[in-house]
């Protein structure tokens, strides 16, 4: 491109481009511009609404956790007394004696030959 003050002549493409940009800049005037419309609707942004929704959900979760922990707790029971791993020692149980086969009598419901 042509730099100002160098004394070199501009190329035809550069001259046409400058002329087109200048014409476009001069074609826009104050009558073509319009002021921005004032904002309509609520001033609150989405961020504020999202923050409030998240805060509400967190509060509900905290309340639900407190209710759950306070309702589902079992009452404190004292620990059962410790038991010995060995069986209790006391009087030994009587040992059964073997029955003599000659003294056994047949039952009345047994078959007789």
- Residue-wise pLDDT for 41-98, tens only, equals 766 678 888 999 999 999 999 999 988 888 766 667 777 777 767 766 667 677 777 7
**Pair of tokens at residue 48:** 């504020």
Per-residue CA distances from 57 to 28, 51, 64, 78 (Å): 53, 10, 10, 39
Spatial separation of the C-alpha atoms in residues 32 and 27, rounded to whole Å: 9
Do the Cβ atoms of 1 and 14 come closer than 8 Å? yes
Which pLDDT value is given to residue 75? 63
Per-residue CA distances from 60 to 51, 56, 57, 66 (Å): 14, 6, 5, 10
């Amino acid at each position: 491109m042509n730099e100002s003050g160098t004394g070199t002549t501009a190329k035809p493409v550069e001259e046409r481009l400058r002329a087109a940009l200048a014409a476009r800049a001069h074609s826009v005037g104050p009558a073509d511009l319009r002021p921005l419309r004032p904002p309509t609707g609520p001033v609150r942004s989405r961020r504020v609404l999202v923050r409030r929704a998240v805060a509400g959900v967190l509060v509900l979760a905290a309340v639900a956790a407190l209710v759950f922990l306070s309702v589902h707790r079992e009452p404190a029971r004292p620990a059962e007394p410790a038991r010995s791993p060995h069986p209790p020692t006391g009087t030994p149980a009587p040992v059964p004696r073997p029955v003599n086969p000659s003294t056994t009598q047949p039952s009345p419901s047994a078959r007789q030959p």
